[in-house]
Amino acid sequence: ETFVKPGVADFSDMVAGSHCMTPSYLRNQLECSLKNLDVECVDIYYVHNPESQLGAVSRSEFNERLLKAFEALEDAVSAEKIRWYGTATWNGYRNDPGARDYLSLAEVVGIAREAGSESHHFRFIQLPFNLGMPEALTKKNQELDGEKLSTLEAAQTLGITVMCSASILQGQLARNLPPIVSEVFNGLETDAQRSLQFVRSTPGVSVSLVGMKQISHVEENLKVAEVPPVPWEQYAKLFKES
């Protein structure tokens, strides 16, 4: 699958944050991505860190911007230039509801329904999740039909696929993990592998993303796929010990 974020490769995060939901910007960056990748269609197109705009605009203005962005992306689906779209975030789905840059997944899905009806193509979210940042699993900061849920629970209920970034936290979780981690995620050789196993074993997680600069890192990480994700009974021991 191919997935892209507008502006991440070509502009600073500051510029992307201020323009990333403008329909003309999204269309421009999509065309650049199609040309650079030499493809006719990308599988997933992410709106990059939309919550960053909440530091400068009201919630109502933000929702209107997001609606226009989603309408533009629904048009791109109709033009067969993308298949699905989503939001790639850092803080939005992890924060407390009272935080200025908090994102309600139910509200975002509601905006997608307004843009594309019940058959909308908003089907993915990306957020950091790892041993040091477990909020998507542990924090019940999402509300759905009056029930408090974690982001992972809310995503499952709403039919949203979750991709997790920062699986080894830019290498910080690749070494010196506490002994309980190797006890729970046994059968692996390195802490980097155990960190990946933590993410891929989490209920509700579909993809554990990790950046790799060396062939040896690719080979090391691929070994995780040879070991099945741990069952919940074993996984839960990690939290009982904490």
Mean pLDDT, to the nearest integer, of 20-36?
Answer: 92
Phi, psi of 216 (to 5 degrees): -60, -35
What letter represents residue 67's amino acid? L
Phi, psi of 27 (to 5 degrees): -65, -40
Mean pLDDT, to the nearest integer, of 49-78?
Answer: 96
The answer to whether 129 and 136 have CB atoms below 8 angstroms apart is yes
The predicted structure's pLDDT at residue 16 = 38
The predicted structure's pLDDT at residue 240 = 78
Q: pLDDT tens digit string along 106-149?
A: 999 999 999 999 999 999 999 999 999 999 999 999 999 999 99
Nearest to 88 by CA among 4, 195, 202, 208: 4
Cα–Cα distance for residue pair 156/205, rounded to 1 Å: 9
pLDDT of 30 higher than 70: yes
Q: What is the pTM of this model?
A: 0.90
Longest dimension (CA), the chain: 52
Q: pLDDT tens digit string along 172-225?
A: 999 999 999 999 999 999 999 999 999 999 999 999 999 888 999 999 999 999
Radius of gyration of the chain, Cα coordinates, nearest whole angstrom:
18
In sequence order, the 6+-apart residues with CB closer than 8 A to the CB of 49 are 13, 16, 17, 20, 88, 89, 90, 92
User: DSSP code of 75?
Assistant: H
Average confidence score pLDDT of the chain: 91
